Every structure is written in structure tokens, then in C-alpha cells.
Structure 1
Amino acid sequence: MKTAINTAVKTRTLPLAIADFKQITKAGLAFSVVFSSIAGYLLGADQIDLTVLLLLSVGGYFMVGASNAFNQVIEKDLDALMKRTRKRPVPSGRMSVPTALTIASVFTVLGVVTLYVVNPKTAMFGAISIFMYVCMYTPLKTRTPLAVFVGAFPGAIPFMLGWVAATNDFGIEPGTLFMIQFFWQFPHFWAIGWMLDDDYKRAGFKMLPTDKKDTATIIQIIMYTFWMILASVFPVTGLTGTLTLSVPAAVIVFILGLGMLLFAFKLYNNRSNRSARQLMLASVSYITLMQIVYVVDKFL
């Protein structure tokens, strides 16, 4: 009888532990970051090395997982105040702080070591991303809307990290990839901030550029979307070194950007959470499809 009960408990516990692990490391976000890194690698590589690609993917997951685990430990009390986050492993009490810190620390070490095997510059940028996310962006979220600007730096690193992993070099090419994803961060996260404004305010987070859902916030969303589009098509000029974009590919990327811009203007007209959600989903589609177009254009 006891054996049957123990087996049943283990059967229920294992899926919960896996779910908690995925939450503490934000597996969905980690995979999207890895996708960006792979796209950057494919753009920079003369020849595809599957070993390097695997190390970049695993190391990237470790780094993102570490950042998110540290973040959830630091913000555990604030997460408990928000509907969106109060059921996370640490604020809900399902996972202890020491356990979460252990995961974060082990992932940091494994991430840096794994990326260092790729090359030292890749490890350096990976370490910088963790430091900026945990030590700068996270504490600033309750102090100033400029936190999103600071957070855009580590958020923009993955796309260019792949190029650095492929070339062991940082120049105009990875710099351009960085700028594309840097400008993209603002409309993406401000759309999320608009949707979750009430929840964020419960925890004291200042996520919108003017700290309120007003015209000035939407104008900044539109402005950064515009700069994102320009950065995304700029390689068609031939001024970005070996990072190039054909005219047909640039037209496709431009149309994708216009689609996202239209959703930004829709938010301007409607001022609704539904429009903000549509903009957020459009931004996710844009960054994914844009990276695919870049990679396909290189190999055609």
C-alpha cells in the first residue's frame, strides 16, 4: 500500500518539478533567445560547425535560465503581489530560495564555460548580459521607466552573439544585428507594459516610458518601431560589411515592419489592452520572420 502511495506521489511530483524548472528558467523565452543566437550564427558562419552551434544553443539556454532564476529570487516578494507571477515557483513557496539560487549559480558557471569553449568573446558578452539583466535592469524596474532602456542592452545581445560565436569578432555586422534587436525591445516590452499596467503597478514596477498609458507612451512606441524598421533594412545599402541583404529581402522585411507599425498606430487610435496585445504578438512575429528572411536570403 505504501509503495503504491509513494509511486503516485512521485508520479505527481515529477511533472510539477519539471514545470517549476521550466518556469524558473523561463524555457519559452530561453528558446526564443537561442533561436535568435542560431540565426546570428548562421549569418556569420562561412561553414556551419554543428558542435559550435550546439554549444551556442546550450550555453545560451544556461545564460538566459540563470538570468531569469536570479531575477525571480530578487523579485519574489514583488512577484507575489501580481496575478501574472504569484504562482511562480519561488513566490508560491513550491521552490525554496536556496534551490533557485543554486540553479541560477550553476547555470551561470555552465553558461560561461560553455560559451568560452566557443570563444572568449562569446563568453564575455554572455556574462555581460547576465550582469546587466540581474544587477542593473532588475533593481531599476521599481525606480525608473529607464529600466526598459537598460534592459534592452542584454535583450539585444543574443542576435549578435551568434555572429560573434561564428567569427570570434565584433564589428559593424554584429553591431547592426544588435541595433535591430535593441530598437525592437521597446515596442515589444512597452506593449506588454501597457497590457499589464495594473499588475505592474501593484508591485511598484515602472515599465512604461512615461509611467502611464498616455499619448506620449504610444508616440515613443511608434518612434522606436520606425527606427527598428530602418535598422532592419539598412544592410541593403551595402554599408554593413559582410552582413548584406538583397533588395527583395529588404522589401519583405520592410513590409513586415510596416505591419508592426500599423498595430502601433492601432494602439494610438484605440488605447486598449486588446490593441496592445495585438502589437505584442505582431512584434514576436516580426522578430522571428525577420531573422528567418535574413538567413534564407544569405543562403539563396
Structure 2
Amino acid sequence: MKTAVRMAKDITFPLIFADFKEITKVRLAISVVFSSIAGYLLGAYEVSVSSILLLAFGGYCMVGASNAYNQVIERDLDALMKRTRNRPIPAGRMSVSMAMSIAIGLTLLGIISLYLLNPKTAMFGAISIFLYTSVYTPLKTKTPLSVFVGAFPGAIPFMLGWVAATNDFGIEPGTLFMIQFFWQFPHFWALGWMLHEDYQRGGFKMLPTGKKDTGTALQIIMYTIWMMVISVIPAFGITGRLMLSIPAAILILLLGGVMLFYGLKLYAKRDSVTARKLMLASVSYITLMQIIYVLDKFI
């Protein structure tokens, strides 16, 4: 009885809020919201603050729901890995039923919010949750192809913003989708390289060859090059309303060149220090690339 009372006293609002942020992966969710807003600004004829707020709220809910479902499904595997064993469910701070309630609640709130923008946005949001939870998550322990499957829901946010602004899916949001789709391979393989041993404890197969070898590094280089090419295609005037000036394209190529440099360095050194630098470069790339696209439209 005394133990239960002591535990109840230990459960404070800051701790509950911290666990909510953990189960929804707040930093990842915010980065997804950022991508969605960037896509919205690129597609919008007129910027609506209310639409941006709906998109931000709905986007956070959808990502948060996906992550909560993921942590429910992988709770036993999370307990085996150093980086995840202190998550709310394996650490015993949150019950599975509570996590599921959060996931379902966020799903409903997210779909409703995105539907208020337009039905297509809600549809793509729902598709991303389904693919992430029902296809990508189970495949992570089965095959390295899980990264390919996971790249589909992961590429939706940038595109989703355009669809939210226009209620239309065409070559423009398709191009935004492809940029973020190809970016994910060097990003997640660099992360998988860094955490390879920990992922092995959980049985996750995240590297394309299953090893930290030159084969994996070579694929990182190839996908980085494809990402760079697709990122500057709008500069050639073949992607409808999605356009990019030559100076902006050069800046984006330079940013991609930093990733390519670390990819080549990883091929030569095959160490986790370089993999970390590549991962950080990839985070900088996706953020700065989207900022350049938006500034290039409005300046």
C-alpha cells in the first residue's frame, strides 16, 4: 500500500508530459510538421494561418499516433535495446492500454483535423499511419527492405503540405515526395550504421547488406546522388508550379555535396564516427533544402 502511494506521488505532470513527448517522439514529429508546413507554403496561392495550424496539429497527431502504435508493438524488443529500454512502456511508466488510448485518440484527432483541410490530405495521413504501423514496423525484424517500405510513409509529409494547400495531387507534390523518399535512405542507413549493434539486440535488420561494409556505404552514396538530382529537377521548369532558381539549385547541390562527401568518407573508413557525421549532415540537408525552396518562392 505504501509503495503504491509512493508511486502515485512520483507521477507528476512534468513526468506525464515527458512520457507523452517520448511516446509521440516529439522531435521527429516536429520535424515532420516542419516539412508539411514547408510543402504547404510552396503550394499555397494565399497563406492561411488557420490552415497552417490545422496542418501542424493534424500532422503532429498523425506522427504521434504512428509512433505510439509502434512502441506498443515493439515494447518487448525496445526492452532489449539500450536506446529504447527507458521508453515509457518497457520502463513500466505507461501501460499498453494507456499507450493504445493515446494512439487511437491522436489518430482520430489527426484525421479530423486534416479532413477539415480537405479529404485528400486526411486520406494521405491515414495511409501513412497504416503503412508505418502495419507494414513497416512488422518488417523491421524480417528484412532490410523495411527501410524501403518505411520510406513511403516517411516521404508523405513534404507532399502532404502541398496537397493540404491545393486539394490536388500532381507532378508538384509527386516531386516533393520523391525528394524526401530518396533522402531517407542515406539518413536511416547512417543511423542504422551508428546503432547497428543495438539494433541487433532487438533483431532489427536496418542495413541493406546486414553489415557495416562497403556494400552498405556504396548504396548510401548511390541514393545520395539520386536525392541530389531529384532535389534540383524543378530548376529545369518541368515540374509545373514547383519551380527553383539556378542560385537556389546550386545551394541545394552544395548541401547535398556535404552528404556525398561523408558518404564517400564512410565508404573509405567504415566507422561509426563518420556515419554520425553523415546522419547529422542529412538532418541539416532536409531542413535547409526546404527552407531554400520556400525562400526561393517568396523572395
Give the equivalent residue in structure 2 for 1:230.
Answer: 229
State how far apart, in whole Å, the 2-side matches of 1:43 and 1:147 are.
30
Alignment deviations for residues 226-282 of structure 1 (CA, whole Å, 9 cap, x no partner): 000000001000000000000110010111111111011111111111100000000
Identity of aligned residues (%): 70
State how far apart, in whole Å, the 2-side matches of 1:237 and 1:243 are.
10
Give the equivalent residue in structure 2 for 1:258.
Answer: 257
Give the equivalent residue in structure 1 for 2:71.
Answer: 72
State how far apart, in whole Å, the 2-side matches of 1:291 and 1:42 are.
10
Give matches, 1:135-214, under 5 Å: 135-214=134-213
1:259–1:194: structure 2 CA closer, same or farther, 3 Å change rule?
same
Q: How many pairs are equivalent?
A: 295
Q: Which amino acid aligns with 1:281?
A: L
Give the equivalent residue in structure 2 for 1:280.
Answer: 279
Q: Which amino acid aligns with 2:268?
A: N
Cα RMSD of the aligned pairs, angstroms, is: 1.3
Q: Which amino acid aligns with 1:13?
A: T
The CA deviation at 1:9 is 6.9
Give the equivalent residue in structure 1 for 2:104.
Answer: 105
Q: Which amino acid aligns with 1:138?
A: T
1:103–1:166: structure 2 CA closer, same or farther, 3 Å change rule?
same
Scaled by the length of structure 1, the TM-score of the pair is: 0.96
Alignment deviations for residues 102-122 of structure 1 (CA, whole Å, 9 cap, x no partner): 000010011011100000000
Give the equivalent residue in structure 1 for 2:288.
Answer: 289
Return 5+ residue gaps in structure 1 as ranges. Answer: 1-5
State how far apart, in whole Å, the 1-side matches of 2:70 and 2:282 are.
24
Alignment deviations for residues 78-130 of structure 1 (CA, whole Å, 9 cap, x no partner): 00000000000001111000000000001001101110000000000000000
1:7–1:146: structure 2 CA closer, same or farther, 3 Å change rule?
closer
State how far apart, in whole Å, the 1-side matches of 2:7 and 2:227 are.
52
The CA deviation at 1:15 is 1.2
State how far apart, in whole Å, the 2-side matches of 1:96 and 1:12 are.
13
Scaled by the length of structure 2, the TM-score of the pair is: 0.97
Give matches, 1:39-118, under 5 Å: 39-118=38-117
After superposing on structure 2, the runs of 4+ consecutive aligned residues of structure 1 that deviate more than 2 Å are 6-12
Alignment deviations for residues 20-70 of structure 1 (CA, whole Å, 9 cap, x no partner): 000000011000000000000000001001111100000000000000000
